[in-house]
Amino acid sequence: MDTIQSSATEVTTRPADPDRLRRMAAGTLMPGFTGIAVPVWILDAYDAGLAAVCLYGTNVASPVQLRELCAGLRSHAPNSLIAVDEEGGDVTRLHYRTGSNQPGNAVLGRLDDVELTAASASAIGHELAGLGINLNLAPDADVNSAADNPVIGVRSFGAEPDLVARHTAAWIRGLEDAGVASCAKHFPGHGDTTTDSHLSLPKVTADAATLDVRELAPFRALVAAGGATVMTSHILVEALDSDHPATFSSRILQDLLRGRMGFEGVIITDALDMAGASAQTGVPEAAVRALMAGADLLCLGSDTTPALFEQTLAAITRAVQAGRLPLERLADAAARTATLAGRFPAASAAEIQEAAVRGQGGLKETELLDGERIAEAFEVSPAAEKWLAREEPVAIVQVETGANFAVGHVPWGPAAATRAIVSEGEVPDGARVAVVGRGLDAEHPLWTTFARLRAEGHAVIAVECGLPRGGADIVTYGASLAVSQALTSLLLGGGSAS
C-alpha cells in the first residue's frame, strides 16, 4: 500500500500536460480485441502506456496459436498485465473450442473439499502462467441466492454463504500460489438477480442486514485471504446505493469495500460494454464514472475498436482537465494497476516458447479429477438408478440449448465428450434413452422430445447439465468437458467416453 501511495503522490506532483494525462489514463484501461492475432493498435497502445489487455474465447483458434499470440504480447510488453476470464467449468476461454478440463465451481461446492478447490485453481493458474497470462478474472464469489439467476448459476460455489466464502478463499490461494493474480467477482454480489447485466441493469432489493450476512461473506473472505483484485458488478443494490450501480458508486467501492471492509488491492470493472454499464451513457462516459467512483482498472469489453479506445482515453483526459475527475484519483488507479503487474511478474516470450518445446505450460490436457469423483457431485434420482441398472443398449439424445453471454458458444454435455450422440429420429428400437439439456424449465423443448420417446416405448430419463429446476432424473451441476466426460461414462455404464 505504501508503494501505491508514494507512486501516486510522485505522479501528481508533476505537471498534468496532455501527453502525461493520456499515458496515465491508458494505465487504467484493459481493452479486448477481435481476431486471433494481436492488432497493431494494441501494440501502439502498449507503447503509449496501456495497462492491460484481456483475451476472450474469440481470440483462441488452437493451443499453438494461443501460445504464439501470448508470446507476441509478452515480447512487446514484458511487464504488463495480460488477463483472461478462465473460471474453469462452463466459463472457459483457454478451452473455448473444446470445453474446460476443470469441473467448475458448482461441482466443487457440492464436493465441498477446499483442498480440491485449491488444486483446481492451481491447475488453472499453472496453465495461465505457462502462457504468460498473469491476471485471471476469477473466481466467481457470488452466492447463488436466486435459483433462477440467468447468468450466475453453476458459476457459483452454491447458495450457502459460508460454503461460498471458504471455497472462494481456497480458489484464490490455489491460483495466486501458481503466480497468477485472482479477481473475485461480482462485488457486492450478483447472485440475487433475475436479469443479466449483459442485457439490462439488474436490481437487488434485499435489505442491508441480509446483504451483509449473505452477499458480502465471500468478499470478506477475499479480503482475509489477501486476494489481489476484485471485480465490480453492474447492478443496482438499493440498500447500499439507490442511485448508482455498484461500478459507479463511491459508497460501495470506497466507503464499503475500501473503508469498512479494508480491501487494499485493485478494483476492476466488469466489462463496460455491457448494457448494465453503458446502455445509457456509452463506454467512454462509463469509464470516467467508474474511475470517479473508485475503480482502478477498466475492462472495456471483448470487441474494443481503436476508435472506442481513443474515445475513452479522450473522455478521461477531458474529465481531469474539466475538474470532474481528480488527477489524484486517476494517478492512484494507474499506480495500483502498475503495482499489481509488478507483484505478479509473467513468463517472458522466450520462456513461453521454451515451455511449449518441452511440452510444459499452457493448455494441459490432463484432468484434475477422475470421472467417478466428479460424478459424486451429481444428483441421481431413484428412477435414474433403475435406468442405469437396466441392460438395454443406451442412446443419448442431446437437445441443443443456448447459453448466457458469460459462457458463450463452448461445447457442452455428452456432445463435447463423445461421438455416441444420436438425434431423436435415430434412436434404435429397444434402446433406453438419456435426453440431455440444460436450463430445464417447464417450457424447455427437451420435454417434448422426452414425451415422444417415452410414448414410443423407450425407457427415458432427463438429464440437466446445470442446476436443478425440477423434473430431471440426473443433475450434473455443470456442463464442462470434465463434467460431460463423467456424465457420459455414467450413462454408458463406465465405458469409454471417447
Q: Domains of the chain: which residue ranges? A: 2-358, 371-491
pLDDT range class, residue 202, cuts 50, 70, 90: confident
pTM across the whole model: 0.93
Task: Look at 101-115, 227-241, 275-289, 385-399 and tell me which has the smallest mean pLDDT.
Answer: 275-289
Q: Report the pLDDT value the prediction gives residue 5, as an integer from 0 to 100.
A: 43
Of the listed ranges 127-141, 161-175, 195-209, 383-397, the one predicted with least confidence: 195-209
Share of the chain above pLDDT 70, in %: 93
84-87 long-range Cβ contacts below 8 angstroms, 24+ apart: 84/54, 84/55, 84/56, 84/128, 84/133, 84/135, 84/136, 84/137, 85/54, 85/56, 85/136, 85/137, 85/138, 85/406, 86/124, 86/127, 86/128, 86/136, 86/137, 86/138, 87/138, 87/139, 87/140, 87/155
Rounded Cα distance, 483 and 91, in Å: 13
Residue range 368-387: mean pLDDT, rounded: 93
What is the reported pLDDT for 497?
36
Cell of 302: 471483448
What distance in Å separates the CA atoms of residue 137 and residue 75, rounded to the nearest whole number? 22
Residue 463 · residue 490 · CB < 8 Å: no
Nearest alpha-carbon partner for 139 in 249, 199, 66, 225: 225
- Can you list the alpha helix ranges (DSSP code H) found in 199-325? 208-213, 217-225, 250, 275-278, 283-293, 306-321
- DSSP secondary structure code for residue 258 in this structure: I
Q: Three-class SS string for 230-255?
A: EEECCCEECCCCCCCCHHHCHHHHHH
Q: What is the mean pLDDT of residues 178-199?
A: 87
Evaluate if residue 365 carries a pLDDT over 60: no
- Residues 219-252: pLDDT tens digits? 999 999 999 999 999 999 999 999 999 999 999 9
Q: Which amino acid is at 489?
A: S
Q: pLDDT tier at 368 (50, 70, 90 boundaries)?
A: low
Q: What is the mean pLDDT of the chain?
A: 91
Query: What pLDDT is attached to residue 382?
Result: 97
389: its cell numbers: 441398472
Determine the Cα–Cα distance for residues 215 and 75; give it in Å rounded to an integer: 41
Cβ burial of 311 (10 Å; 0-12, 13-18, 19+) is middle
Say if CB 227 and CB 176 are below 8 A apart: yes
Superfamily for 2-358?
Glycoside hydrolase, family 3, N-terminal domain (3.20.20.300)
How many other C-beta atoms are found inside a 10 Å radius of the C-beta of residue 50?
25
d(CA 337, CA 45) in angstroms, rounded, equals 16
Q: What's 330-352 look like in SS3?
A: HHHHHHHHHHHHHHCCCCCHHHH
Rg (the chain; Cα; Å): 23
pLDDT at position 362 over 70: no
Which grid coordinates are listed for 469? Answer: 429446476
Average pLDDT over residues 139-159: 90
* Annotation marks residue 270 as catalytic: yes
pLDDT at site 151: 80
Q: What is the pLDDT of residues 13-69, one digit of tens each?
A: 454 688 999 999 999 999 999 999 999 999 999 999 999 999 999 999 998 999 999
The pLDDT score that the predictor gives to residue 408 is: 86
Q: At what angle do helices 283-293 and 327-343 cross, to 10 degrees?
A: 90
End-to-end CA distance of the chain: 51
- Tally the residues of the chain: 498
CB 383 within 8 A of CB 472: no
The residues that bridge with 380 in the sheet, in sequence order, are: 474
- 316-338 pLDDT, tens digit per residue, is 999 999 999 999 999 999 999 99
* Annotated active-site residue in 90, 140, 270, 473: 270
| Residue (of 87, 53, 85, 86) closest to 70 by Cα position | 53
Instruction: List the one residue out of 67, 69, 141 whose CA is nearest residue 105.
Output: 141
